Amino acid sequence: MRALISAGVLALLTSCVLPLPRQLSPEERAEDRDRCALVQAVMAEPQSRALLEALRPRFEGPVPLAVYVRRPEEGMLERFLVQELACATAEFRIVARAPARALLLYLADAPQGFTFALEQGSPEDLALEGDPQGRVVRAGSGWSVTGL
């Protein structure tokens, strides 16, 4: 009995211990807020909203959205946001890794902003290459979505 209780307490303690998120510097927080504004501008665009609405019935709650910067010259995809939770809305939530089904937002560096592509996918679908669907550029202190 004592061994069973000890095993249960040990399992409870080890399963409840989560690493604490690291504290961001004021500069990192400002950069993440700016990046979040960029993501929200892309997701407010009509094609993005249509895809989001089409996927919504498949999920309980907000649709998972994984955001990456494509860096094909380096052979890598880079996570775009440091603290994903701060960028959640009622329609979507940013995730660090794409679950079995999610929206994948790819960004690529472009003059004065980024090009973007948004598609439904899974971790197996992640790709370094792809055709951009639009452009997001700096507009004053915010971001504006334009065509290519």
Task: Identify whether 5 is part of a domain.
Answer: no
pLDDT of 3 > 90? The answer is: no
Domain that residue 84 falls in: 26-146
Q: How many angstroms separate the first and last alpha carbons of the chain?
A: 68
Domain assignment present for 1: no
Q: Are 64 and 103 in contact (CB under 8 A)?
A: yes
Q: Is the pLDDT of residue 56 over 60?
A: yes
- The answer to whether position 132 is within a domain reads yes
How many other CB atoms are there within 10 angstroms of residue 16's CB atom?
Answer: 7
pLDDT at 21: 54
Whether residue 142 is contained in a domain is answered as yes
Per the model's pLDDT, the better-predicted residue between 11 and 72 turns out to be: 72
Look at the chain and report how many structural domains it folds into.
Answer: 1
pLDDT number for residue 97: 79
The answer to whether 33 and 25 are in contact (CB under 8 A) is no
